[in-house]
Each structure stands twice: as structure tokens, then as C-alpha cells.
Amino acid sequence: MNVSWTERSMKTLEQLRELKSAKEQDRLDYVKTMRFAFAAMGQSLAGWMQWVNSPEIMSTFNRDELEKMAETIMEMTEKFIEYDIKITDEGMRKGFAKQREQDEGSHFVI
């Protein structure tokens, strides 16, 4: 069965919304949801990279369309990186830095 990218993406959106709206999620459910979301983002990003690296595709868009795409992508990226920094800082405060130091210091050579 040949399913188009748009149909697959719509199915992914449905799955994301189902995961998001599930009641009484435990910690593992949240991790599963994040894994699914990151996989979906990775798939989408791979497609975008194919597009922006293709002069044949990108030349079909006019300047205004490209400007709007660039603005939207930059806004989403900025918000994601700001959130990434926030969560990374929280993780570091929770002791991930100490764990990393311990892991790096425990190399055995025979």
C-alpha cells in the first residue's frame, strides 16, 4: 500500500493528539510520548532538509513564500532551543553534571 507523505503525517498527528490527550499517564507514558514526538520531528526535519537542499523544489516558491517559511521555521527553532536550554539547565541542577563527571572519571586501563 503506497501511502502519501501527507497521509502519513496526518496519521502521525492523530497519534500525537491521542498520546497528548490520554488520561492518567505515568512517567513511562510521558517518556514514550516524547520519543514518538522526537521521531516525528526527525522524520519531518529530514524531509525539510531534502527540500531546502533541492534547487528544483525551492525555486518553485516565490520570495514571499520563502520569507514566510523562513520566519516560521526560525520562530519554532528559537522556541525549541530556548526550551532545550531551560530543560538542560534543570537537568544539570538535578545532578546530571555530577553523574557525567563520575562516568568520565571511571575509566579502567589494564
- Is the distance from CB of 56 to CB of 70 less than 8 angstroms? no
User: What string of pLDDT tens digits covers the 110 residues of the chain?
Assistant: 457 988 999 999 999 999 989 999 999 999 999 999 999 999 999 999 999 999 999 999 999 999 999 999 999 999 999 999 999 999 888 876 666 666 666 655 55
- Is the distance from CB of 77 to CB of 49 less than 8 angstroms? no
- Cα 59 from chain centroid (whole Å): 27
CA distances from 74 to 66, 70, 81, 102 (A): 12, 6, 10, 37
pLDDT of residue 1: 46
pLDDT of residue 30: 93
